[in-house]
Amino acid sequence: MIILFKIHSFLKRKWYIPVTFFGFFLYLIFFNALFPGFLNSFTNELEETSASISRVRALGCLTTSVYYGETLFSYSDLFKEQTEASYQLAYDSIRLHFHREFAEIQTDSLDSLPPGKRKKYQRGIERFKKRKRKEFFTHPENREMVKNFSTLADETGFPAKGPDYDVFLDFVLDVPYDSFNYHFPEVIPQLTRKLKPPKKDLVYIGRGWVRAGFDLKPVPDSAWFPDSLGAIHLPQLRTYLLADINPWFIPELEIPGFEVLRYDAGRMARRRFTFREVTRIKMGCKRKLVRMALKKGLLLNARNNAEEVLLSFLQTLGNQGGDTVVSVHIPFPDTTSIGWIDSLMKK
């Protein structure tokens, strides 16, 4: 009784506390926070639209190895890749710009001039070069970039130090980007680290497969006949590589191909992602999957297995008026040219 009396007196004095709590409770229900799907439950529904065949293409691809894998890719990874690419672009554009300017001057052969005039010409060229450099470095964007590069001089051993643009320019003109990145591997990562990280993040997990094999279409008929030792050589075979991450990885087991691991659209969801950004993150997953597959030795496995498959296939078919096949030889796939794989992904 005493307890009930105490509660009653408490409520009489401070009635606003339970009322506030009740109000807050209603608020949570209304905004789907407490019981999601009670007042509003949203689902996405597709309209019935037909599917139609838009193109038929004849192939002759023999897939001999498949890699199944899982990768993670985030918006910040994409951001890093983009900034690195933009630095490379800036570096190359400086090289291109100045090389063109200077190449035009040097086409004039100074040797054919009399010595007095030659000196005058040379001085003119020097002045021209100076002016061009000044023009370039007065542009605020270029100035910013050089400043970025030169602040790292002490940490990374990069020779351009302080506001001495000439040293920087000489270095850039002498060294192409690839060897610059090789000799000073810390410069670009340091520069990207100094930038502000994006205030939103989206991390995708991607499950898919990479298929590798050979295109049999360009092989001429004569190549299928063995030589006197019973060996078939197929140097014409073109390597074939395809990566796929679909919305569903295994639909029967309800395992999705793409799954959001982390989604942060900034405070009050003010920095939402565009469709294009989401697609680019997904494509990043695919690129990473290809790299993982190549590291695991997909191409080599595909080549070794293709030799076995083709040998047993040709032996079971037999050939009319030729020797029996003893071995099939396929050259090792060129793993050094990864560039074409990237171009494949960006189709």
Partner 1 sequence: MAQVKTNENIEIKPGHPHNRWLLELSLRKIALLLLFSCSCARQPLPLLSQLKDTAQLSTVEISISKLIVARQVNSGLLVQLGMKKSVDLRKTFLANSEAQVEVGIELDRIDPENIKVEGEVISLLLPPVKVLNFSYPPENFVVDSTFTEGFQKGWPSPMDLDDIYQQAEMSIRHYINHLGIKEIAESQTRIFMEELLHGLNYKEVFIEFEASEQLIFANNPTKTKQEDQ
Structure tokens at 339: 């560039």
Residue 334 makes CB contacts below 8 A (sequence gap 6+) with 239
Q: Which is nearer to partner 1, 104 or 259 (CB)?
A: 259
Tell me phi and psi for residue 203, to 5 degrees.
-110, 125
Q: Pick one of 106, 112, 274, 337: the residue that binds partner 1 (CB under 8 A).
A: 274
Whether 174 contacts 93, CB under 8 Å? no
Residue 202 makes CB contacts below 8 A (sequence gap 6+) with 74, 75, 260, 262, 263, 264, 273, 277, 278, 281
Interface characters, 244-263, with partner 1 (x: CB under 8 A): xxxxxxxx-xxxx-xxx--x
Q: Which is nearer to partner 1, 229 or 268 (CB)?
A: 268
Q: Which stretch binds partner 1 (CB under 8 A): 19-27, 32-40, 82-90, 174-182?
A: 32-40
Q: Which residues of 246-282 are buried (b: 16+ CB within 10 A; e: fewer)?
A: eeebeeeeeebbbeeeeeeeeeeeeeebeeeeeebbe
* Residue 32 C-beta-side C-alpha neighbours within 13 Å: 6
Q: Which residues, 79 to 118, sit near partner 1 by CB under 8 A?
A: none
| 31: contact with partner 1 by CB under 8 A | no
Q: Which residues, 188 to 247, sit near partner 1 by CB under 8 A?
A: 202, 207, 209, 211, 213, 216, 221, 224-225, 242, 244-247
Q: Which is nearer to partner 1, 67 or 158 (CB)?
A: 67
| Residue 237: alpha-carbon gap to chain centroid | 28
Q: Which is nearer to partner 1, 80 or 282 (CB)?
A: 282
Q: Which is nearer to partner 1, 105 or 205 (CB)?
A: 205
| 268: contact with partner 1 by CB under 8 A | no
Q: Which residues, 276 to 335, sit near partner 1 by CB under 8 A?
A: 278-279, 282-283, 286, 292, 296-298, 301, 305, 309, 312-313, 316-322
| 53: contact with partner 1 by CB under 8 A | yes
Question: Coil, helix or strand for 243?
Answer: strand
Least Å from the CB of residue 263 to partner 1: 6
Dihedral, 127, 132, 134, 138 alpha carbons, nearest 10: 160
